[in-house]
């Protein structure tokens, strides 16, 4: 699968836990849209001419700050410079309060066929504490509007381990997810990133977050819920009904190439990782001079190995033994096999069809297991 990621670097409000790159100043939105289109042209040789794009992903920031005309302009540039499959998965991340019925209908007409809605919680108090733009009523309305507009591939983001959250509240959020009958969920434990408002609030005691054992309980409940509701747990934080995996994200986890366009977007060409400058003004200035403002780094064998372990162990497809043997020097597989033996004996990993995957018990300890495999 070959994909294009478009980063829309704007938000209307700062969520207190977020450390993504975005700007609150929407004054240069049109210039950014134009620069994205120009970058798409400048990088039209990223893929070989016979490549067919199978996934397009608008992420952010908040793509739903764009008007239908602005999105159409970007999509037109993609189809002008790349060959896009008629069946391509086109995902669009949005904030619930932007999803009016009209806007959903516009997105549907534009050919967007997968909506990713950043709901996070169905409790107003959680949404307030996180400084989200929407309330629980808007969260629900967003999904209903998307469905009414014809979307049948909807994913929602929810979070657990939030300040002051109780198990009953998490159960309520999950029951709302079930009621809304969406095809996919991404569920994340809150992590406190340095330099965010939450990091400051934890230090000064304004908020308290649950200890690790508490977070594990929420995760266990999530796994149980997913099973009851017929979601397949195909990646640590991702759950899909009827095989409706995120094709775009799955290709990241499978080490496929991807082109990332826009300020702060990352790309990978199979050998080099590249990242664009995280500054809207400098990004626009450079693109207007015909220069993509990015840095790059060649991945060493160790980097590739560690990334492969980290991303593949997170998924239901696991670490493929043949892939390891074919793509890395012998020593890597030997080291892997030794550590693997220990975890198989403990019942944390299992072998299935020539791949090593986490057991249910192992999923709870995945971070520690993965880092044990890393080569430094």
Applying CB under 6 A, which residues contact ligand SF4?
11, 14-15, 18, 20, 22, 60-62, 95, 118
**Which CB atom, from 61 or from 161, has the smaller least distance to ligand SF4?**
61
Name the minimum Å distance from CB 9 to ligand SF4: 9
Rounded CA separation 213/220 (Å)? 11
| CB nearer ligand SF4, residue 128 or residue 297 | 128
Radius of gyration of the chain (CA): 21
Instruction: Kindly state the smallest distance separating residue 281's Cβ from ligand SF4, in Å.
Output: 19
Give bridge partners of residue 357 from the DSSP assignment.
350
Instruction: In angstroms, give the least distance from the CB of 62 to ligand SF4.
Output: 5
Closest to ligand SF4 by CB, 2 or 62 = 62
For the CA atoms of 166, 167, 172, 176, what is the dihedral angle to 10 degrees?
110
Of 18 and 110, which CB lies nearer to ligand SF4 in the complex structure?
18
Give whichever of 60 and 293 is closer to ligand SF4, judged by the CB atom: 60
User: 286 and 293 in contact (C-beta within 8 Å)?
Assistant: yes
Q: Which is nearer to ligand SF4, 118 or 163 (CB)?
A: 118
- Give the shortest CB-278-to-ligand SF4 separation in angstroms: 13
Q: Which helix (H) or strand (E) holds 333?
A: helix 330-345
Contact between 349 and 356 under an 8 Å Cβ cutoff? The reply is: yes
Q: Identify which of residues 61 and 318 has a Cβ nearer to ligand SF4 in the complex.
A: 61
From the number of C-beta atoms within 10 Å of its C-beta (0-12, 13-18, 19+), residue 349 rates as: buried
For 82-196, where are the alpha helices, taking DSSP H only? 101-109, 124-129, 136-148, 167-180
Shortest Å distance, C-beta 36 to ligand SF4: 17
Q: In whole angstroms, how close is the CB of 20 to ligand SF4 at the nearest point? A: 4
Nearest to 129 by CA among 89, 174, 161, 95: 161
- Read off the DSSP letter of residue 44: T
Q: Which is nearer to ligand SF4, 61 or 362 (CB)?
A: 61
Angle CA 251–255–258, to nearest 5: 60
Q: How far apart are CA 52 and CA 42, in angstroms?
A: 18
- Locus of tokens 């095989």: 243
Are the CB atoms for 161 and 212 separated by under 8 Å?
A: no
The nearest distance, CB 136 to ligand SF4, in angstroms, is: 16
Query: Are 160 and 217 contacting, i.e. CB atoms less than 8 angstroms apart?
Result: no
CB of 199 to ligand SF4, least distance (A): 14
Q: Which of 80, 81, 64, 165 is nearest to 117 (CA)?
A: 64
């Amino acid at each position: 699968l070959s994909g294009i990621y478009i980063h829309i670097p704007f938000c209307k409000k700062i969520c207190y836990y977020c450390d993504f790159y975005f700007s609150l100043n929407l004054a240069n939105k049109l210039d950014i849209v134009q620069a994205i289109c120009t970058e798409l042209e400048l990088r039209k040789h990223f893929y070989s001419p016979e490549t067919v794009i199978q996934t397009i992903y608008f992420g952010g920031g908040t793509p739903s700050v764009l008007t239908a005309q602005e999105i159409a302009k970007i999509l037109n540039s993609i189809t002008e410079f790349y060959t896009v499959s008629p069946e391509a998965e086109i995902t669009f991340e949005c904030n619930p309060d932007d999803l009016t019925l009209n806007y959903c209908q516009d997105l549907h007409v534009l050919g967007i066929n997968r909506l990713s809605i950043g709901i996070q919680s169905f409790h107003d108090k959680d949404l307030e504490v996180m400084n989200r733009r929407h309330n629980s009523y808007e969260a629900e309305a967003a999904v209903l509007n998307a469905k009414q507009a014809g979307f049948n591939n909807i994913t929602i983001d929810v979070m657990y381990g939030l300040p002051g959250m109780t198990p009953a509240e998490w159960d309520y959020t999950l029951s709302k997810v079930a009621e809304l009958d969406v095809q996919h969920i991404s569920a994340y434990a809150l992590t406190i990133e340095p330099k965010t408002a939450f990091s400051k609030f934890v230090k000064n005691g304004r908020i308290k977050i649950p200890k690790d054992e508490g977070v594990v309980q929420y995760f266990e409940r999530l796994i149980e819920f997913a099973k009851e509701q017929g979601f397949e747990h195909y990646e640590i934080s991702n759950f899909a009904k009827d095989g409706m995996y995120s094709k775009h994200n799955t290709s990241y986890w499978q080490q496929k190439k991807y082109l990332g366009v826009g300020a702060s977007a990352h790309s990978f060409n199979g050998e080099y990782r590249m990242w664009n400058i995280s500054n809207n003004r400098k990004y626009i200035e450079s693109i207007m001079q015909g220069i993509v403002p990015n840095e790059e780094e060649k991945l060493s064998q160790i980097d590739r190995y560690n990334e492969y372990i980290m991303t593949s162990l997170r998924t239901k497809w696991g670490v493929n033994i043949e892939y390891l043997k074919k793509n890395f020097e012998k020593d890597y597989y030997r080291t892997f096999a030794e550590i693997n033996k220990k975890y198989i004996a403990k019942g944390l990993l299992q072998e299935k069809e020539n791949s090593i995957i986490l057991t249910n018990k192992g999923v709870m300890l995945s971070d520690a297991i993965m880092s044990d495999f890393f080569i430094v």
